[in-house]
Structure 1
């Protein structure tokens, strides 16, 4: 790969896609597409767009992320989270491109005592998780050079996420009840995008970038370091954003906040493999949150 290579980014209006369009600048000719220019539910348009652009790297943060809605919109979730990645992977395999795709902790059932490794058995408990796992499997089966980057509890200053919801509700209500028995690592969208850029930059300096990607193809976990509960995350948000003057936060069990889709109780993902393979570490979730709120 060289500086003139094309990097295609999907879902540029999403929270991760927005950050990727900035962190990948200078690493190639970045073509950032939103839903109006490449709707992932239109599989033939996805295929023709990739063929027209002939990108060296396809970066796919776009996804169907309405977890509860997916329970009744199975076809919609599968089309965007499984079928579209399959088409992207097929086109990458056809042209020799690399596909970087983002997946989720929801491919696991959350019953493990410790952090999940990439080799642990998957067992999604909801439609969203099943659709994302099907996407992973389609990419692997395609034979293309690829990175599947599983992350968790993604937040940022745009889109729909826990951080923005807490800030909105915290300004409106004196007390919030937040689930305390689900554990994970809040991960800033910028951390995901910056880590991706670190990896892409390494490929550029490789003597044979195609071989470099093939040697490293596989699934990796990419989350912030450390762990907390949703309750702990909420407390940290209010302590940093409102200097302790936010609402009173009361811990509750997930059973007290019923939702259509089952969430894993344990969303912890070990990112040891990613650090060992690419030679950089992930920031503590508290440090990333502090930086996000400072923006």
Structure 2
């Protein structure tokens, strides 16, 4: 089996001052990558800011013989994301890997949620992933090489009580990946997504925390490192990873039913719901165009 390494590569990891991001940064550095450790240094809710957490991770990397710099730019803004990428290029000359990991939590039911709390979570998770990807894009395109790893969540893929803001942002990230996988193909840019299961500062207060005692961030980082490597030649995939468990996640569509001309009525849908909901012949689609073609294909 070929060893996966990152010698000569430069990786930018957002939210890398602790938890999953720290684990990603340390693993990449241990395998030869020069790493930009980005972290705003705020609370789980996104309040405050300090470079201390990022600097601490840089010190860990340097103690192991690696190279890294700390960065405290706010990726939730277009300007902050650009400054982050500019800092990476200035320090190391290129950007080969971008891991969009930064996030905050402001949990509450939608009925009780303040608009500012909804918007703040979407800004950091979704817009932060978009702005950082946009900033890194021309660098990767010029190199004709890049690996972008997004971070989604089971809360986005499947839903979770009290996390409408977080869930909406996390599924939005999948939509972002699904478009970037097409836009990056001709530039050698592969865009994939990890759905982590890990015990971090963001999950330790959740009621099932004890179930996650084996789901340490390091066991997610292994999957992320593969997605971030040259060995990963596919694009547009979602990898569920945690506690030593790895599984492909797909959005699929059933074979469906065609209503004859003039019979596309609510009653037709009701009468044929069993066939419409039959997933025995379901399959994934690579693009919206493929799904549209399938909708008009003869049965």
Q: TM-score, normalised on structure 1? A: 0.55
Distance 1:33 1:135 in 2: 19
Structure 1 residue aligned with 2:39: 34
Question: Are residues 34 and 225 of structure 1, via their aligned partners in 2, closer, same or farther at CA, if it must alter by over 3 Å?
Answer: closer
Question: Are residues 198 and 134 of structure 1, via their aligned partners in 2, closer, same or farther at CA, if it must alter by over 3 Å?
Answer: closer
2:203 to 161, 175, 196: 161
Question: Are residues 69 and 63 of structure 1, via their aligned partners in 2, closer, same or farther at CA, if it must alter by over 3 Å?
Answer: farther
Structure 2 residue aligned with 1:193: 221
User: Does 1:136 find its partner at 2:155?
Assistant: no
Deviation at 1:59, TM superposition (A): 1.2
Distance 2:214 2:35 in 1: 28
User: Does 1:88 find its partner at 2:137?
Assistant: no
Distance 1:33 1:105 in 2: 24
Question: Larger relative contact order (C-alpha < 8 A, sep ≥ 6)?
Answer: 1
Deviation at 1:110, TM superposition (A): 5.4
Q: How many residues align?
A: 193
Distance 2:238 2:193 in 1: 5
1:45-87 C-alpha deviation (Å, 9 max, x unpaired)? 2123214424110112211233339943111111111111111
- 1:24-63 alignment runs, 5 A limit: 24-25=28-29, 26-35=31-40, 36=51, 37-52=72-87, 53=89, 54-63=94-103
Gaps of 5+ in 1: 112-123, 167-177, 207-211, 227-269, 275-295
Deviation at 1:141, TM superposition (A): 2.1
Question: Are residues 129 and 185 of structure 1, via their aligned partners in 2, closer, same or farther at CA, if it must alter by over 3 Å?
Answer: farther
Pairwise CA RMSD: 3.6
Distance 1:85 1:133 in 2: 12
Gaps of 5+ in 2: 41-50, 52-71, 141-145, 185-189, 251-299
**Is the 1:155–1:188 Cα contact (8 Å) retained in structure 2?**
yes
Structure 2 residue aligned with 1:151: 196
**Is the 2:82–2:135 Cα contact (8 Å) retained in structure 1?**
yes
The structure number with the bigger radius of gyration is 2
1:192-223 C-alpha deviation (Å, 9 max, x unpaired)? 1133234445x2xx5xxxxx54x344222223
Structure 1 residue aligned with 2:149: 100
